């Protein structure tokens, strides 16, 4: 027969085991065996959910499919996943980098070590919550993908929801509440002065109110101080449309697009045509430009065989840079003194043989297609430069070879070998010139802004923890 002290010790041990199990932690310290990992878990969880997210990008339509909206969603998803992973690392004393927003969460006191599936459960459940919240129309698909991965319903009880997932999701939602991303106001700017953006007349771009997300440049950034932080004061020094269109610089820019961006161009090389279509992804049913960059993030993470922690950090670093690059790009498009008309408008306005000029870029039926927003600066150039910059900062090098993928319906090649991160930025930058949708200065200035965004984000977010522990405020 046990003594009273022995019985008390037994009850304490049992309580410790129950408490540890309730918390979703390892009961090893309480004397219980470790649980087996969930059988449905295969491969890196962040990589898995990236594929799910990209499918929601393909399914998006209208303004919900705009580059800004999609890049914002990506940043929210990966910031949340990274913060959940940071809570895991902080709880077990292995946190190396500050969480996004610098608020580390410790969800268990005096833990021993985690259960084998605990890290994946955190990522799976956080990713599910964020993606299903952002894309409610895809809920059935997202639910099915959760069950495919875990073998459980996403609505099943898990104590980690209360301990980690709920506070992380609340934190991200609170940070993005009222950020201006749902502004429904339509474009009411000048669309008649030569040089000023106007609807191209193609597909869904027939009236000024069709202009896509005209207020996106005013959205509160994730890391930048404002969307205008890196905006050039003017478009190459021009302060009026009259001055712009009368200049030889403008004539040269317009003529270059006319020559190398036409559907029937004889000056565009085969290689330039390959590059143009490879990076396109303007059409519904593709994962759009932000999705292609996030897919590349996954490809590079696999090449370097990153562990779960660093995979979440790489996705967060690239997604935050992409989101802020999208805001900065739209700031120059709509909030600069000159909202530049697209090359198709500029070239056709010269009349004569140019009155029927068409760009290379086209929809699935082959009809000419130009995105319905101003030309300066190029969003593609912003995105690819920001992505390349984020990669260079993360890995501390540029000369990395990897195979990029394209799912654009017009692409000539599905896979293309990149020999550096900068090659992605260069090809993304000038692909739009060769598609006939942007001028050279759109590409060059977009690249410069995207590079500045990546530098700033990398210098101000997800930084190494200080020797005395993560900074809190």
Residue 468 scores a pLDDT above 70? no
Contact 370, 437 (CB under 8 A): yes
Residue 1 scores a pLDDT above 70? no
| 119 vs 37, more confident | 119
Residue 44 scores a pLDDT above 90? yes
Q: Would you state the pLDDT for residue 37?
A: 39
Write the pLDDT tens digit of every residue in 311-362.
999 999 999 999 999 999 999 999 999 999 999 999 999 999 999 999 999 9
Q: Supply the pTM of this predicted model.
A: 0.90
Q: Would you state the pLDDT for residue 163?
A: 96
Write the pLDDT tens digit of every residue in 53-67.
999 999 999 999 999
Write the pLDDT tens digit of every residue in 125-139.
999 999 999 999 999
Alpha helices in 305-342 (DSSP H): 308-335
DSSP-assigned states of every residue in 132-191:
HHH-GGGHHHHHHHHHHHHSS-TTS--HHIIIIIHHHHHHHHHHHTTSSTT--PPP-S--
| Separation of first and last alpha carbons in the chain | 54
Q: What is the mean pLDDT of the chain?
A: 91
Residue 291 scores a pLDDT above 70? yes
Write the pLDDT tens digit of every residue in 354-364.
999 999 999 99
Residue 29 scores a pLDDT above 80? no
Share of the chain above pLDDT 70, in %: 90
Residue 142 scores a pLDDT above 90? yes
Give, in order, the Cα–Cα distances in Å from 13 to each of 134, 159, 162, 401: 43, 20, 24, 54
Give, in order, the Cα–Cα distances in Å from 276 to each of 58, 110, 178, 199, 282: 20, 55, 37, 23, 12
Contact 108, 163 (CB under 8 A): yes
Per-residue HEC secondary structure of 101-146 comes to HHCCCCCCCCCCCCCCCHHHHHHHHHHHHHHHHHCHHHHHHHHHHH
Q: Would you state the pLDDT for residue 14?
A: 36
Helix or strand or coil: residue 67? helix
Residue 36 scores a pLDDT above 50? no
The confidence band for 467, taking pLDDT boundaries of 50, 70 and 90, is: low
Write the pLDDT tens digit of every residue in 85-116.
999 999 999 999 999 998 889 998 877 788 88
Share of the chain above pLDDT 90, in %: 86
Which of 321, 283, 312, 290 shows the shortest CA–CA distance to 409? 283
Residue 439 scores a pLDDT above 50? yes
The position carrying tokens 């043989």 is: 353
Count of other CB atoms within 10 angstroms of residue 109: 7
Can you tell me the distance from the alpha carbon of 457 to that of 218, in angstroms, rounded to the nearest whole number? Answer: 18
Which of 36-50, 209-223, 239-253, 418-432 is least confident?
36-50
The confidence band for 40, taking pLDDT boundaries of 50, 70 and 90, is: low
Burial label for 335, CB within 10 Å (0-12, 13-18, 19+), is middle
Q: Would you state the pLDDT for residue 470?
A: 41
Q: Would you state the pLDDT for residue 466?
A: 77
Q: Would you state the pLDDT for residue 453?
A: 98
| 409 vs 102, more confident | 409
């Amino acid at each position: 027969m046990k003594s009273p002290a022995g019985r008390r010790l037994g009850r304490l041990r049992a309580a410790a085991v129950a408490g540890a199990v309730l918390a979703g932690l390892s009961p090893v310290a309480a004397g219980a065996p470790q649980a087996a990992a969930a059988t449905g878990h295969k491969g890196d969880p962040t990589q898995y959910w990236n594929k799910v997210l990209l499918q929601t990008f393909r399914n998006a339509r209208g303004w919900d499919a705009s580059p800004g909206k999609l890049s914002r969603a990506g940043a929210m998803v990966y910031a949340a996943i990274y913060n959940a992973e940071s809570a895991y690392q902080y709880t077990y004393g292995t946190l190396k980098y500050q969480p996004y927003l610098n608020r580390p969460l410790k969800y268990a006191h005096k833990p021993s070590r985690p259960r084998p599936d605990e890290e994946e459960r955190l990522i799976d459940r956080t990713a599910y919550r964020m993606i299903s919240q952002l894309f409610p129309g895809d809920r059935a698909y997202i639910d099915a993908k959760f069950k495919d991965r875990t073998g459980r319903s996403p609505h099943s009880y898990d104590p980690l929801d209360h301990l980690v997932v709920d506070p992380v999701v609340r934190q991200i939602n609170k940070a993005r509440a009222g950020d201006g991303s749902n502004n429904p106001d339509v474009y009411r700017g000048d669309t008649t002065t030569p040089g000023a953006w106007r609807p191209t007349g193609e597909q869904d771009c027939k009236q000024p109110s069709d202009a896509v997300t005209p207020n996106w440049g005013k959205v509160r950034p994730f890391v930048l101080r404002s969307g205008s932080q890196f905006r050039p004061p003017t478009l190459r020094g021009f302060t009026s449309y009259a001055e712009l269109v009368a200049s030889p610089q403008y004539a040269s820019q317009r003529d270059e697009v006319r020559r190398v961006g036409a559907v029937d161009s004889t000056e565009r090389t085969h290689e330039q045509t390959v590059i143009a279509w490879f990076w396109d992804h303007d059409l519904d049913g593709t994962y759009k430009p932000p999705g292609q960059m996030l897919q590349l993030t996954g490809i590079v993470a696999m090449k370097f065989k990153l562990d779960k922690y660093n995979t979440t950090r790489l996705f967060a670093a690239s997604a935050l840079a992409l989101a802020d690059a999208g805001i900065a790009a739209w700031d120059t498009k709509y909030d600069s003194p000159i909202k530049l008309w697209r090359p198709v408008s500029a070239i056709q306005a010269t009349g004569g043989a140019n009155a029927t000029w068409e760009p290379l870029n086209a929809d699935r039926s082959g009809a000419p297609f130009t995105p319905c927003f101003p030309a300066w600066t190029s969003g593609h150039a912003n995105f690819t430069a920001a992505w390349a910059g984020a990669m260079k900062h993360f890995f501390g090098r540029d000369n990395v070879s990897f195979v990029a993928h394209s799912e654009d319906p017009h692409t000539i090649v599905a896979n293309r070998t990149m020999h550096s991160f900068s090659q992605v930025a260069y090809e993304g930058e000038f692909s739009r010139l060769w598609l006939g949708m942007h001028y050279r200065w759109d590409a060059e200035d977009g690249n410069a802004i995207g590079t500045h965004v990546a530098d700033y984000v990398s210098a101000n977010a997800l930084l190494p923890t200080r020797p005395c522990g993560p900074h809190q405020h």
